[in-house]
A and B are shown apart, each in its own frame.
Chain A
């Protein structure tokens, strides 16, 4: 059996000839610049918005955070109504989204057969894909009237003496905003919770079952304690999402800077006031004050996101495209 002999020298000479090394350096520089761009954008966000709000900060002082009057005409800028509105809607929506979201996650991971789990999981993911403005449109013309007629009026008639249900219900208002926000935050909470719960080792579940636990008890003893910090992270992520949500809330909350305990009252959130008033802002101080609200919003979401990611990171850094939609 003989062997073909060719012209190795020719190949080796060619290989030696085609050997400039600047390609490697160039590429490394390129990818590093790209990564630095991400850092630069985050830094730039804080810097640009911060600089733009300086005028407002100087003029409004610390009273900005506690002032309840928002009167651009007279150059009085108090942001408390918006802070209140954001907190009220986001926290309430989060509470509801956690209840439903963790429930869905548990259902999908520990209860549903795969044939049921896949479509339901997909449907929840799809909720995250619908644009915010479409939720707003639906909220104005479908949800708000329905809420008014079937929820708010009955509640007002029966429990109207409670501060939560006082005032004339017109559909548009805090409650509508809470419902819409819950729907939009739900996919985030559900998807991350699902990852976290699925990451609980089988051994934990089996240990509980081996003790003779019912399915619910297994979840209670073997799954939830283990997933606690991760689920908390999911909640904080959902909170961050709810705080930053703009369009749908703007379209159904009524956009009135009032502070009220009532769910029927119209309200205003930080994101909404920026969305509504920025393009119309006539004076630089007005714009700068709105930027100041934007800065506050940015810092709050950055911090909550960072904290949430740190919590969730350890438990489930998964390879799921689903979490991208969240």
Chain B
């Protein structure tokens, strides 16, 4: 929004104007203060994560498994491996469903159907992730008799679907109608037109959305607490409990040992760097696309 010029108010008699101007200055100062209050926590949080996490960050942290509690050394390798596996699984399961749902919403559904699906996707986006964890627990852990990486992966898949579906919907909407028209006028079947012409045109934005979703679910703890449960050893088996970075950070932060705390900070640094990198990447791609007019 451009700043609009305020008309000179010299016509209005003195005292009232002074009061109004004072109020104006006060309120604008408060608004500026609000902006400051909003920006400061970010600096504080990121700053401390950096300061506390950097000293403890080393290769051993990522490659070694935990040692008995309280002893120095060891690492969070199970968590790193587990996060990679479950985030991968969740993305693998959730992304196709989400992209297809986004295609349906934008390309096939009528006005009311599209509104309904968009609404439901947003509602799903607002479900607390701990509830999604409970759902995965009842759906998978209970029937299968145990905690597993699979259940964790499924919980993460459910979490990523609304994010990717919404952005697929929006990115497809940005593809100019003339492209679709050209494809239909050539006698290309609608589904091929969508998959081979429209989707590639929206691909960059959709991939960005997927990255955004990946960054989000990588940091999620609640869906994994009673699905994947956690593990002190590196496990690649989807049928067994699996560790994850957020889970381990939680356990270590809540524990009594200084070495644990230090590792928690370091692991947080890794997580935050990952999320920051993806967010920045997303922003960059978004800005580029809007600039090029797509």
Contact = CB atoms under 8 A, between A and B. Distances in A.
Say if the two chains contact directly (CB < 8 Å). yes
Interface of A: 15, 21, 23-24, 27-28, 30-35, 37-39, 41-42, 44-45, 48-49, 51-52, 99-104, 106-113, 120, 122-127, 129-138, 140-142, 183, 186, 190, 198, 205-206, 209-210, 212-219, 237, 240-241, 243-247, 251, 271, 274-275, 278-279, 291, 294, 297-298, 301-302, 304-306, 308-309, 313, 319, 321, 324-325
B128 A319 contact: no
A24 B189 contact: yes
Given A130-B42, A130-B46, A321-B209, 5 more contacts: A37-B101, A48-B134, A48-B135, A278-B226, A306-B119
B45 A275 contact: no
B9 to A, nearest CB: 5
Interface string B21-60: 1011001101111110111011011101100100000000
Contact of B165 (A38, A107, A274): A38
Contacts of A107: 31-32, 34-35
B257 interface: no
B134 A49 contact: yes
Contacts of B45: 130, 134-135, 138, 183
Contacts of B12: 212
5 contacts: A48-B135, A129-B276, A131-B218, A138-B45, A244-B127
Contacts of A210: 7
Contacts of A275: 130, 222, 225
Contact of A124 (B11, B38, B192): B38
Contacts of A51: 138
A125 B283 CA distance: 11
B31 A31 contact: no
B71 interface: no
Interface in B1-18: 1, 3-7, 9, 11-12
For the complex, would chain A's binding face be called helix, strand, loop or mixed by DSSP majority? Answer: helix
Contacts of B202: none
A240 B35 CA distance: 23
Contacts of A39: 120
Given A34-B101, A123-B42, A129-B279, A100 B34 contact: yes
Contacts of B132: 45
B191 interface: yes
A63 B165 CA distance: 41
B38 A133 contact: no
Interface of B: 1, 3-7, 9, 11-12, 20-21, 23-24, 27-28, 30-35, 37-39, 41-42, 44-46, 48-49, 52, 96-101, 103-105, 107-109, 117, 119-124, 126-132, 134-135, 137-139, 142, 158, 161-163, 165-167, 170, 173-174, 187, 189-192, 194-195, 208-209, 212, 215-216, 218-222, 225-226, 229, 246, 249-250, 253-254, 261, 264-265, 268, 271-272, 275-276, 279, 282-283, 286
A163 B108 CA distance: 59
Contact of B38 (A190, A218, A237, A313): A190
B34 A104 contact: yes
6 closest Cβ contacts across the A-B interface?
A131-B219, A244-B128, A103-B34, A34-B100, A305-B126, A31-B104
Nearest to B27: A216
Given A24-B191, A216-B23, A241-B126, A134 B120 contact: no
Contacts of B103: 31, 34
Contacts of A102: 34
A134 B226 contact: no
A111 B3 contact: yes
A301 B38 contact: no
A27 B261 CA distance: 51
A134 B221 CA distance: 10
Contact of A45 (B28, B38, B135, B215): B135
B8 to A, nearest CB: 9
